Structure 1
């Protein structure tokens, strides 16, 4: 079974639609949606409806910090751009869409796979996995062989051996990576709707559960149209500009 791992869509309908089309062409049969479906971007309603549609067909979806903020209200620690986007997003979603977001779980375990937005050690705290230290803490917090999470907007892969030896690397696009059975693995597929690694193409990954293989994907999309929606909504210009720069 090929599972598309999609995270941090951030109300970017153009990127999400392009990734879904690409995933279907790769033979994907299931989806894991790793949170932050809203915030920053200009089309939250379409994105939430599409996520809900996929969940109704069996996909996994977990709550991100922006999803929680749109339902519960922004926190004092949010940057001004993020806070303004959260408030605007809340005003654009109907009660059913807000209820869908409010009922998302913080994490989901299926077989030997853990799906969570930020990390396994404190899903509700939304602490970032910024490097090997946080990745190892997350891997030690679960017995699952595979952990898939988002929150960080750059693709990354970490592993932990049975002897406690840790490793990490930045994956190359489209290269199939065998996930060896004597290790635990933590995958961050990168952001679908707001990549921050200098490449504006949408990020996602494909996990082949039968072959225990992983590949990271990049998909070009109409970022100009996504930026235009942000500007039309009256949201901060920086949120539009960063889409075009991948930052």
Structure 2
């Protein structure tokens, strides 16, 4: 007996890539999905992405968990309600991308995010349990990496043989002491796979198999219309409001190269050195993002676009 589950994560408002992944999977006969969080932000089609998630839930068996981006957005709602003293977001290179996304969400969307767990134990009779998470089973911001021991350490901790996660945007698998970690990569903004929607299909084998019950991952890299997604950054106003952070997103979509943490940290360090004052996110001046981007080799794609118009 064989079971199939479609696993999709890190959509980041890229409805075009999301729809490509779902359509491919349903054409393969898949009727069950696990969604691993970070559904929105970074590209423009937030409302379309949320509507597609709701339609998927109505039509198929869907398990969804909450990513760190959903937590950020819920945190901003608490600020606006006077329940938190965290900073209000503003339209700049530090928080403009998040504010743009927040203003496209409804209270129903945010309530949906709040209802989701950060991890979930998938159980199905005859098959091994799977721990499903965005980052780690206890922290949706934690990175489980292949090049160090973080993934292996979690495999040692859990009382299951499988973890399926995302967050790193790096697709792949790790096997340790008879246990297995599968990272689906990013459907919406894949690292090292520009123009491709990354996701995976879990193939389940029950106790009737000669080697006993198990799961195998089929990793997918599906081409989609990335040019539309990049054009929409400009045409739908995200580039204007998110500035250098969104230029960096365009760079990832075009090249698969991600220096997002370095961009933010470098801008903060440059501002602190020049002004002599500590910098609190998101109050980072644009000139320092410009300098940081130049150091990191991120082209300003906005300039030739303006010249071409």
TM-score of the superposed pair, with normalisation by structure 2: 0.67
Whether contact under 8 Å (1:14, 1:221) holds in the other structure is: yes
Whole-angstrom CA distance in 1 between matches of 2:155 and 2:20: 31
Which of 35, 44, 47 is 2:46 aligned to?
Answer: 44
Pairing 1:165-180 to 2, within 5 Å after superposition: none
Deviation track 1:20-43 (CA, whole Å, cap 9, x = no partner) reads 111112222211111100110101
Q: Larger relative CO (CA 8 A, sep 6+): 1 or 2?
A: 1
Partner SS for 1:214: strand
How many angstroms does 1:184 deviate by?
1.1
Q: Distance in 1 between matches of 2:95 and 2:72?
A: 9
Tell me, what secondary structure is at the counterpart of 1:59? Answer: strand
Instruction: Establish whether residue 105 from structure 1 lines up as the match of residue 124 from structure 2.
Output: no
SS of the counterpart of 1:208? strand
Cα pair distance change 1:17/1:30, threshold 3 Å: same
> Do 1:45 and 1:97's aligned partners in 2 also have CA atoms closer than 8 Å?
no
Cα deviation 1:30-64 (Å, max 9, x = unaligned): 11111100110101111122223333432111111
Question: Is 1:63–2:80 an aligned residue pair?
Answer: no
RMSD: 2.1
Find 2:166's aligned residue among 150, 157, 163: 150
Count of residues in correspondence between the two structures: 222
Find 2:224's aligned residue among 203, 221, 224.
221
Bigger helix fraction? 2
Relative to 1, partners in 2 of residues 1:82 and 1:144: Cα closer, same or farther, differing over 3 Å?
A: farther
Matches of 2:176 and 2:252 in 1, distance apart? 34
Which of these two proteins has the greater Rg computed from alpha carbons?
2
Q: Aligned partners of 1:141 and 1:29: how far apart in 2?
A: 31
Alpha-carbon contact 2:184-2:219 (below 8 Å) kept: yes
Choose which of 207, 231, 234 in structure 2 pairs with 1:231.
234
Question: Structure 1 residue 193 and structure 2 residue 209: aligned?
Answer: no
* Partner in structure 2 of residue 4 of structure 1: 6
Say if 2:143 is the partner of 1:128.
yes
Q: Please state whether the residue corresponding to 2:190 is helix, strand or coil.
A: coil
Q: Determine the C-alpha separation between the residues in 2 that align with 1:142 and 1:190.
A: 21
C-alpha separation in 2, matches of 1:197 and 1:81: 24
Contact 2:144 2:151 in 1 (8 A): yes
SS in 1 for 2:16: helix
For residue 99 of structure 2, the aligned residue among 66, 81, 87 is 87
CA distance in 2, matches of 1:27, 1:21: 10
- What is the rounded CA distance, in whole Å, between the counterparts of 2:94 and 2:175 in structure 1? 32
Q: Secondary structure at the match of 1:217?
A: strand
Matched residue of 1:92: which SS? coil
Preserved contact between residue 193 and residue 202 of structure 1 (Cα < 8 Å): yes
- Does the 8 Å CA contact 1:231/1:240 hold for their aligned counterparts? no
Spell out, residue by residue over 1:5-25, the C-alpha distance to the aligned partner (whole angstroms, 9 max, x if none).
Answer: 111000001100111111112
